[in-house]
Amino acid sequence: MGRGVGRRLAAGSGEYDGDMRLTAAITKDGDWFVAQCLEVDVASQGRSVEEARANLAEALALYFEDQDAEIGEAPIIAPVDVAV
């Protein structure tokens, strides 16, 4: 479980002022990479995986700055094999 996961972060309260580790799913969509945070509903994009991840980190910082936010539990990421 990442740091800060499952905790409440109150905007501007200083209640939690450390770094948080959240999970991003990054997929390619045409010429762009789309980064989606799995704990909160925030996404961003970039022309590379690194740019999409950096843009997501910036979007998440703005998201947490602007509102009270409940951070969900860290998801379990596992491959699924499907016969097709």
33 domain-assigned: yes
Mean pLDDT of 75-80: 90
Average pLDDT, the chain: 81
Is 50 inside any structural domain? yes
* DSSP H stretches of helix in 4-75: 49-66
Tell me whether residue 84 is in a domain.
no
In degrees, rounded to 5, the angle at the alpha carbon of residue 12 between the alpha carbons of residues 6 and 18 is 50
Looking at residue 69, its pLDDT comes to 67
Give 54 or 65, the one with higher predicted confidence. 54
Has residue 14 been placed in a domain?
no
- Residue 6 resides in a domain: no
Q: Do 44 and 25 touch, CB atoms closer than 8 A? A: no
Angle at 75 between CA 31 and CA 49, to 5 degrees: 20
Q: Quick check: is 44 in a domain? A: yes
Q: Is the pTM of this model over 0.75?
A: no
Domain holding 30, by residue range, is: 22-66
The answer to whether residue 83 is domain-embedded is no
16 belongs to a structural domain: no
Convert the pLDDT of each residue in 26-56 to its tens digit.
Answer: 999 999 999 999 988 999 999 999 999 999 9
Total number of domains in the chain: 1
